[in-house]
Structure 1
Amino acid sequence: MKTFTTKLKNTFILCFVLVSSSVLAQTIITVDNNPGSTTTHQTIQEAHDAATDGDIIYVQPSSSSYGNIIIDKELTIIGRSHSEPSKVSQLGTITIRSSNVTIKGLYISSLYASSSGAPNTPPYIGLNIFDSYFNSYLQLGTNSATVIQDDVTVRGCVLAGTNYIYEDATNVLLSNNIFKSNSPLRIYNTTSTVIANNVFKFTSSLSFTNYNTSGTAILYNNMFITNYASDATINFNNGDFNLSNNLTYNYGNGDILFANSTTGSYLESNTLANTDPLFTNVDNTVSNSFAGTSSYNPNSRLEDDLTLQATSPALTGGGGGSEMGLYNNGFLYNILGNARGIPTLDIISYDGAVPKNGTINVTINAKAH
């Protein structure tokens, strides 16, 4: 983080440098619904409708949602964060009707794809979702007969509800995320879905469902974490599952056990069973800590740090001796969802009043993610 003071004549301008010289043709559109805002667009759909393919929409933090959006253009939509106190950029439901869409740093109700009424014909190729929070659900594909979404990456996110990977969503990567639902995934496509290096935080029981009864769902390098007073259970329902190089740990008084339903089965190997991952800073005596008994909320205990201590068995417990969980392969997970690759700027202080044509002294904190 850098702090610096600058002098600006007559007014001060706060800019985010979002693009390099190689993409100067892109237009940056700002949407801002805060009181006193002078921006042209105050809803996300208005900003979308004013954009063209390749543009970037920057969503200012606000206490109010910017509403729902139907995306039928190749756009990048960037917010400040999903959980930084007083600096959250919120959207409602996102409907995907385009290829080459990137979303990062947003608090989102839900997201799904739809070809109904769309000007673009599926498949929609290329959806990248980073550093975002899904309060309700993420639905990939529509359960149609033909592929509607291809090449989907979801990384560095928090997913609070039940999420769906339908058969018509292909080449899906779910990695370096926190899932906080007791029923996080319903999987219809097992052949081209990767579920790795995630952390699943749950209460007393966790359930996965594989609706592809002819295929095996694979989970590897993940962590399964709870704080429960007795033994907790992870259930594998419907179809087959293969578990390799995962870690389980109960911060309460019991263990974590694997179980299958009468129509499902699982195979496991190289599990670090009931093994403390040694996160850098969590507290199982504080209910709203990641190690606590309540449902996980990123901004409930800001001192939580889910990096691994130097003696953590999870640093080499993954496949091929790799690191398990959120920070695998040097991934820089951001617990508050500040968009990666985008600097955040905060005005710390500025002169309250100056004479006409005078100088305003502004102190700014700048931090790159």
Structure 2
Amino acid sequence: MKHLFTLLSFLVLSYTQAQSILIVDNDPVVDTTPSHMFDNITDAISAANNGDIIYVQPSITGYGAVTIDKEITLFGSGYAPELNDGRRSELSSVRIDADNIKISGFYISTFITYNSSTSTSDNVLIEDNYINQTIYVGSATASHTTTNNNWIIRGNVINYGINLHADPTKCVNTVITNNHITLLNNSTSATYALRYFNDTTVFNNNVVRINFTWGNVNIFPNMTGDVTVFNNIFISNGVNTLFAPTTGRILTINNSISYMSTGGTISLTLPGTGNFDNQNPFFTSVASTLFDIAVEDDFTLSPSSPGLNAGSDGNDIGIYNGDYDFDMRGYPTELPYLTSFTISNNLINAGENINVNVQANANKSN
């Protein structure tokens, strides 16, 4: 099944892309002698040219830490694919060290971070991934000299937070939309938040869980400009003051919902207009009372939700705003994915044909 998926993806991309396609598979039984086949991502990146696409097969073994230092696209199979017996395309961390990079469809067990060299890392798209820690778009040190402009972060599950650059001139036009984000702290770790946002930052249509165990917090600390955000759902799992702006900066939150999942109320109202303070968002079906995420959950809004058609654009508040198709399994938007694979005669004699029925959904970008 895995190899047929590769073939389907390869055929589709061959007709729609002018770039070369490279395939990475660390399964020891796979033949990686062809020039486009590799058993690790580092070698594939070394062999790639700017504009190429690397497809990383699902595996029971992770592919380790990756530094992307060319203008390429990396596609995984999704962070929770349905028909791979638990296999997924997993990385331990990702370092973005070039311009014009896209990464989609991966489970990333720690973080994604900006470049460490003197090069820029502009025009980056991070989509349909599960990031188990923080995304660092830029440095917390304002003297860091490189730029990290025009990042788009959408359709992801992010478990700690997002940090931009402490110098707003080096982190322009960051777009953060349609993500499920968890912010957390505890007695032994630092506080993770939405840090160093500036007046060019777009933060719309997200679900934000504030999973703190102590203290009243500002979830938008260290703002480096006045920030206006739209159409988000903020769910507190126990703490109170959440929306106090950073001293000297103005935070405006419009057309959004706040809710205390553990009972009680959040005393500080959302600082803007068109909001629903301390109201249950009434998702269609979410198993956890703390609103973490599983593939069986449905974060669309039910008919009783106050957020229906209440966004700034007349669409629903939250991660399904407008026509965006948030994918609970992290399938890359551009690729088809298998929905059924059936062998009807799995016991055959030598020389006979195997009868296979394959069904797939078309890519979501069409």
Distance 1:367 1:258, change over 3 A: same
The separation in 1 between residues aligned to 2:310 and 2:145, in whole angstroms, is: 38
Q: Aligned residue for 1:100? A: 100
Q: Aligned residue for 1:193? A: 201
Contact kept? 1:316, 1:324, Cα under 8 Å: yes
Distance 1:335 1:184, change over 3 A: farther
Q: TM-score, normalised by structure 2?
A: 0.82
1:352, distance to aligned residue in structure 2 (A): 3.1
Contact kept? 2:205, 2:317, Cα under 8 Å: yes
1:357, distance to aligned residue in structure 2 (A): 3.3
2:276 paired residue among 256, 272, 276 = 272
Q: 1:268-312: per-residue Cα shift (whole Å, max 9, x none)? A: 3322012222211124xxxxx2xx24x72424xx2x111122443
Contact kept? 1:45, 1:68, Cα under 8 Å: no
Distance 1:251 1:312, change over 3 A: same
Distance 1:12 1:22, change over 3 A: closer
Q: Aligned residue for 2:222? A: 211
Q: 1:74-128: per-residue Cα shift (whole Å, max 9, x none)? A: 1111111113361421112211121111111111121112252x6xx42x33101
The separation in 2 between residues aligned to 1:88 and 1:13, in whole angstroms, is: 13
- Bigger share in strand: 1
| Residue ranges of structure 1 left out of the alignment (5+ in a row) | 1-10, 260-265, 284-288
1:245 paired residue among 248, 252, 255 = 255
The separation in 2 between residues aligned to 1:12 and 1:65, in whole angstroms, is: 19
| Residue ranges of structure 2 left out of the alignment (5+ in a row) | 185-190
Q: Aligned residue for 1:4? A: none
Residue 223 (structure 1) aligned with residue 233 (structure 2): yes
Q: When the two structures are aligned, how many residues end up with a matched partner?
A: 334
The separation in 1 between residues aligned to 2:5 and 2:97, in whole angstroms, is: 39
Contact kept? 1:81, 1:87, Cα under 8 Å: no
Q: 1:327-358: per-residue Cα shift (whole Å, max 9, x none)? A: 11210001121111211125333543433432
Quote the RMSD (CA, aligned, Å): 2.7
The separation in 2 between residues aligned to 1:100 and 1:270, in whole angstroms, is: 36
Contact kept? 1:83, 1:298, Cα under 8 Å: no
Residue 46 (structure 1) aligned with residue 47 (structure 2): no
Residue 258 (structure 1) aligned with residue 258 (structure 2): no
Contact kept? 1:79, 1:89, Cα under 8 Å: yes
Contact kept? 1:232, 1:254, Cα under 8 Å: no
Q: Aligned residue for 1:90? A: 90
Which runs of structure 2 are paired with 1:1-369 in the superposition (5 Å)?
A: 14-16=7-9, 17-19=11-13, 21-23=15-17, 25-39=18-32, 40-84=37-81, 86-108=86-108, 109-116=110-117, 121-122=119-120, 124-142=121-139, 143=141, 144=143, 146-166=145-165, 167=167, 168-182=170-184, 183-203=191-211, 207-212=218-223, 215-228=225-238, 232-236=240-244, 238-239=246-247, 240=249, 241-258=251-268, 267-283=271-287, 289=288, 292-293=289-290, 296-299=292-295, 302=296, 304-345=297-338, 347-349=341-343, 351-368=345-362, 369=364
Contact kept? 1:227, 1:252, Cα under 8 Å: yes
Distance 1:137 1:336, change over 3 A: same
Contact kept? 1:162, 1:184, Cα under 8 Å: yes
Identity of aligned residues (%): 30
| Higher RCO (C-alpha under 8 Å, 6+ residues apart) | 1
Q: Which amino acid aligns with 2:231?
A: N
Distance 1:180 1:192, change over 3 A: same
Moved more, 313-322 or 62-71: 313-322
The separation in 2 between residues aligned to 1:175 and 1:328, in whole angstroms, is: 10
Q: TM-score, normalised by structure 1?
A: 0.81
Distance 1:93 1:268, change over 3 A: same
Q: Aligned residue for 1:5? A: none
